A and B are shown apart, each in its own frame.
Chain A
Amino acid sequence: NAGVMQNPRHLVRRRGQEARLRCSPMKGHSHVYWYRQLPEEGLKFMVYLQKENIIDESGMPKERFSAEFPKEGPSILRIQQVVRGDSAAYFCASGYGNTEAFFGQGTRLTVV
């Protein structure tokens, strides 16, 4: 049973480009969560999704950030027109509503 898979592990983007981060939840998990970890800080919740639905996006920046979890395929976190301040580690976690979330290895985004 594969764990939560995130790719790419490392992503370098120039300012103004788009970053697309992918997350495949564990088999059977219908809940996906995205968190951001800025350097020297803890993890901050961004968005909670179930298949084809955004349940809670209270932690998402109002502009440039979007997330989806389609019926088929991985969840995608998209950052448009990246800026230096978007450089961070982005973690995905999955679960099925039973209180334990499983985390992926993260995508480390560097904006140059």
Chain B
Amino acid sequence: AQSVTQLDSQVPVFEEAPVELRCNYSSSVSVYLFWYVQYPNQGLQLLLKYLSGSTLVKGINGFEAEFNKSQTSFHLRKPSVHISDTAEYFCAVIPTNFGNEKLTFGTGTRLTIIP
């Protein structure tokens, strides 16, 4: 079984400041890793994903994440946030050998941008 931990339930950040949202996972098998964003009353939109290759992954809206296998982490970062980044962010994993897209999610981090 897999589990995903997002330790920070809420993160307030001033506009134009950098941000890091933390994600750690636990799994007995190799996993693919994902970050999704959910704007208020909306569905989930994929920000970025790690399948293989370079451990630094770049996504949409200026976000990036780094896969660290030894620390089982996949932290999300942005060097300068905007008001429009206010949303809930979810980290998720899928086992690599399952052949489907069943995701295990973390509990989410609510990012609030302070003007």
Contact = CB atoms under 8 A, between A and B. Distances in A.
A interacts with B: yes
Interface of A: 4, 31, 33, 35, 41-45, 48, 55-56, 91, 93, 95, 97-106, 108
A60 to B, nearest CB: 13
Contacts of B108: 41-42
A108 B100 CA distance: 26
Given A31-B100, A106-B43, 14 more contacts: A33-B101, A35-B105, A43-B44, A44-B105, A45-B103, A55-B100, A56-B102, A93-B101, A97-B100, A98-B101, A99-B49, A99-B51, A102-B46, A103-B36
23 contacts: A4-B43, A31-B100, A33-B101, A33-B102, A35-B103, A42-B105, A42-B106, A42-B108, A43-B105, A45-B102, A48-B100, A55-B100, A93-B101, A95-B100, A97-B99, A97-B101, A99-B49, A99-B51, A101-B101, A101-B103, A103-B36, A103-B44, A105-B42
Contacts of B36: 103
A31 B98 CA distance: 13
Contacts of B41: 108
Nearest to A9: B41
B101 to A, nearest CB: 4
Interface of B: 6, 32, 36, 41-46, 49, 51, 90, 94, 99-108
A37 to B, nearest CB: 9
A91 B43 contact: yes
Nearest to B110: A40
